[in-house]
Structure 1
């Protein structure tokens, strides 16, 4: 029997509200780091922005560990095979550990070149390398958290990830403040605090998998290879997203010190908003995967339509919220007059883009939940190509930070068009486990 509109809303909110709290924990980690580091002498804040861009790109490429695991586990739960769901979740955890160790080995010697690629030089580059290399030690834990979160989301449990995220956020804030201000470790203290908080969170997820769900410890090479193969298309999709963000940061870096500082703050706000909107997308992944696994294509489409409505409404609310709190942000980040001016102007663009972002994130989550990774990969390529002429115009015309964020708006509009066309069709409605 089809769900009523009220029942559909309850289903969405039951998953989305706790997911919202868990999702914003990661940008709140970065936002807390930004507030603390902003009180250090320059160029510490700029170095944090550069290093975080590289780190976010690396970890972002591995987001398939959460998204792919959510979709796979949700399909098995929908099909009534809980044992296979746990096995696939464990395969995702083993894959996360292996990828995390590989990232440390590969990226550690490349750290100086990566920060230079973003445009950092001199003392800015030195501090960025320090933050990046320390943070690399926490990458395996970050990826285990991603995979563990994906397993529980697939089981339609978004409350437990919320509790873990809140605990990790509190630990991160306390340790960062202690290491930076009390012990005087500078930007390195901020990195160490985050590494320790992420490691604690990973330990909680592993304990839960073995204690609560009695997951088998022994790795399954076949299952791990299957999980990795399924994630390749999502890696391409995410690489395109990260390429756009890295290009934007590189352009902002070359505009000047005040511009990269303002861009760092605006990016933190954008990330916080994006994770808030992604809460509905997380619900979309779990609901879509579960419905298609149970053979309910009509239910998946009905849920998609309703979640789009929620995405647009949430975007409008968040946009108004940005305009309300915007005037208070320069003081929070200890910004000088030039940075404050750049920040205030760019936030208007961010606010206007939120309804578009609401649609984009919801449809992205729905198609991930449906396992439509191949289309998402190609869509990522085409939307990146749409962004390049816009950002090139900013560079050649000498545009400022506001025009750079307008170019990012062109990219978001292209994403909305490509995802909307796919969702309107029926090729993604593939049923079965």
Structure 2
């Protein structure tokens, strides 16, 4: 057995498909809860120690950072996919090349991004039509959090390496440390010292670096077979091309998605700070329903990559429909429950006007979350197979062809307060579109290889 299997917590090439996927997804699920707690604490602190304008400032300042990071977060996902395929093939040399190249890429990309984001961030916020009362706080929050880009990307790259080798449990420990640090810093800087938005932003930036540093120590101590360097020590050109070939389309897809959300945020901003704050609060509750989606989607991608590397097409055919179906069913149950019982969960503000919009958002969007869960798992399966084009096209269509036009149409018709219904509509269309993957040549090839493997037994 290759040495890197020692640190792999879950071997996705053997055992029950759903059992292995669940075993891999559970630590990610717990980690997502911690991440949600991480952002929820920010919202709670701002909502209770600041005012509604501060809440809107933080809510509107995240999109520019997402746009700048999403290309490289996509590349990080590409690294994870290639690592999982190398693990499936038991290709230790390629695994080493991927690790070295990812560290080089981290430093080559993050430092210029920090400068660009710090300078262009305010311009992007003006383009988003941020309400005038929320603009100063949004600029302050954005510029401070931009200083944490290296830590943000570093942690996500390292987490991708760990997921690729099947180790999803270690991220839980790292997230627990960062979440605890963020809570303490939030309460000290904003609650005790009264630094307001600047205190929350500083706590976030510091915690991002702490997460990255802890992930380096963990990998170098517990996953020595990866030989993770702290600083860049060269890269392999062929491996870099592979990372770009897989990760760049994922990143551009995310970039187009984030830019689309800027247009949506601009529409939300036109409805006023109260509407923006309500949608932000609802997003925290919606994040609870989204935990299963994200966890099983990451499990699906690693499952596809490892079994493709192992050339187990029978298992690929089985998992390709079982995991998306399970994700959809779990999300349906969670979404309906939260839509019915959302009011007790809205602890982030006491403003009745904000709560009214938050409840509306939850009841319009969450009952359709299961569609997103199912089609996102199918997309993750295709991505894990290295088939990026189809999912990229579907993502672009459902956002730019469905969600944005539907939301703006509702606002034009005088229903701006229900603009979030465009999100629900896009979930349904996205599921219908991704179901056609099962009619594609790629899926037909999987089925053909699976039948050949069955007949050869």
| TM-score between the two structures when normalised by the length of structure 2 | 0.87
Match of 1:68 in 2: 78
**C-alpha separation in 1, matches of 2:256 and 2:438:** 20
1:334 counterpart = 2:340: no
Match of 2:320 in 1: 304
Match of 2:195 in 1: 185
Secondary structure class of the residue paired with 1:148: helix
CA drift at 1:272: 4.2
1:278 counterpart = 2:294: yes
1:271-296 CA distance string (max 9 Å, x none): 44334311001110111000011111
CA drift at 1:328: 1.6
Secondary structure class of the residue paired with 1:157: coil
Structure 1: runs of 5+ lacking an equivalent: none
Match of 1:85 in 2: 95
Secondary structure class of the residue paired with 2:112: helix
| Matches for 1:251-290 after TM superposition, within 5 Å | 251-290=267-306
Secondary structure class of the residue paired with 1:334: coil
Match of 2:18 in 1: 9
Match of 1:208 in 2: 218
CA drift at 1:302: 0.5
1:330-370 CA distance string (max 9 Å, x none): 4x112322211111122112221121122022112111211
Match of 1:169 in 2: 179
Structure 1 window deviating more from structure 2 (383-392 vs 166-175): it is: 383-392
1:193-222 CA distance string (max 9 Å, x none): 111111111012223344423235512151
Match of 1:294 in 2: 310
Secondary structure class of the residue paired with 1:427: helix
Match of 1:143 in 2: 153
Match of 1:351 in 2: 366
CA drift at 1:102: 2.0
Secondary structure class of the residue paired with 2:319: helix
CA drift at 1:406: 1.2
| Matches for 1:20-59 after TM superposition, within 5 Å | 20-39=29-48, 40-59=50-69
1:131 counterpart = 2:141: yes
CA drift at 1:14: 1.1
**C-alpha separation in 2, matches of 1:388 and 1:124:** 23
Match of 1:374 in 2: 389
Q: Is the 8 A contact 1:142 1:202 kept in 2?
A: yes
1:271–1:98 CA distance, 2 compared to 1 (3 A) = farther
Q: Is the 8 A contact 1:172 1:194 kept in 2?
A: yes
Match of 2:251 in 1: 235
Aligned residues: 427
Structure 1 window deviating more from structure 2 (365-374 vs 284-293): it is: 365-374
CA drift at 1:231: 1.7
Q: Is the 8 A contact 2:76 2:247 kept in 1?
A: no
Q: Is the 8 A contact 2:131 2:272 kept in 1?
A: no
Match of 1:18 in 2: 27
Alignment RMSD, CA only?
2.3
1:53-106 CA distance string (max 9 Å, x none): 322333334321332122100101101113322321332233233222121111
**C-alpha separation in 1, matches of 2:149 and 2:287:** 19
Structure 1 window deviating more from structure 2 (80-89 vs 54-63): it is: 54-63
**C-alpha separation in 2, matches of 1:35 and 1:58:** 26
Q: Is the 8 A contact 2:38 2:183 kept in 1?
A: yes
1:210-253 CA distance string (max 9 Å, x none): 44232355121513354234322112221232233222221111
1:291-313 CA distance string (max 9 Å, x none): 01111122112112110221122
**C-alpha separation in 1, matches of 2:334 and 2:151:** 31
1:232–1:109 CA distance, 2 compared to 1 (3 A) = same
CA drift at 1:325: 4.0
CA drift at 1:152: 0.7
**C-alpha separation in 2, matches of 1:94 and 1:20:** 30
| TM-score between the two structures when normalised by the length of structure 1 | 0.92
Secondary structure class of the residue paired with 2:227: coil
1:159 counterpart = 2:169: yes
**C-alpha separation in 1, matches of 2:262 and 2:30:** 26
